[in-house]
Amino acid sequence: MREIKNTKIIAVDHGYGNIKTANTVTPTGIKAYETEPIFTGNILEYNDIFYRIGEGHKEFIPDKAMDEEYYLLTLMAVARELNIYSVREADVHLTAGLPLTWIRNQREKFRSYLLQNPEVHYRFNNKEYHIHFVGCSLYPQGYPAIINQLGNFKGTNLLADIGNGTMNILYINNKKAQENRCWTEKLGVNQCMIAAKNAILDKFGVKIEEATVEQILRFGTADIAAPYLDCITSVAKQYVADIFSTLRKYEYNPDLMRLYVVGGGGCLVRNFGIYDNSRVTILDDICATAKGYENLAYMSLKRGK
């Protein structure tokens, strides 16, 4: 979180799998209750409804303003970030992003969605929050994650932001983003998750917990029998092969350019991919995009824009 003229700048990276701020990560699963849930932890109270947040992931939707859930997740994310600094009341300038090729058409709608209530009172984890939303800056996903490293982007570079729902692809030549060479593919990590669960069901006739599959995708292994692990590993390797195949469709050539991978899918590339380590850089910080949003918004507000 950054601050300018008593306004807190809070970035929210609205992923399909996780909501990230500069300092927090929370799965996007959300479930409503009319009465207070039995178990504590990540409970949002808003408009007399209780919401448990963080169990599972939200389904992919092409327009994040289609329902109320991303708004509720934004309130949660703001509270989690403010809580780190023991702040309960604040003027907040939000900063967030949208997929590269969607931001042109969805920017103003999403801004209005996030700013639908200039003043909000709510509770999160039994703490009261009073927020004045005073503005919102929106940026293309992925690119902000590498703005502090642009000095390394000499020659031709390809950025792949692999999230849970989509993969954003952007060429950066001599430190400059090429707006006419960016694409969004529905090839997020969730596609690999679905394929792995289906493979286990088809081959062994049993269901596997999503948390177990997630552990394998993230770390490359889990405490399960070898045949199950081998099955999921095979699916993950094919998924990463599909990632590189898609990049080649957009003229990726490892001999002629460097590849930078950001987002949660980077761990799959590292664990299951075949590539030249000297030509591919994987950014491990899942909060890097949110931090980039904050830096861009801070610099823009400081210039008075």
The answer to whether residues 237 and 272 touch, using CB atoms and an 8 Å cutoff, is yes
User: Has residue 229 got a pLDDT over 80?
Assistant: yes
- CATH topology match: 2-140 vs 147-189+221-286: yes
pLDDT above 70: percentage of residues in the chain: 100
How far from 98 is each of 128, 130, 142, CA to CA, in Å?
Answer: 29, 26, 9
| Domain residue limits, the chain | 2-140, 147-189+221-286
Q: What six digits make up the tokens of 163? A: 């999230």
User: Which tens digits make up the pLDDT trace of 1-41?
Assistant: 999 989 999 999 998 889 999 999 999 999 999 998 888 88
pLDDT in tens, 82-112: 999 999 999 999 999 998 888 888 999 999 9
DSSP helix/strand/coil, 201? helix
CATH placement of domain 2-140: 3.30.420.40
Homologous superfamily (CATH) for 147-189+221-286: ATPase, nucleotide binding domain (3.30.420.40)
Check whether 50 has a pLDDT greater than 90.
yes
pLDDT of residue 299: 94
The beta strands (E) that lie in 156-284 are given as 156-162, 167-173, 176-185, 258-262, 280-282
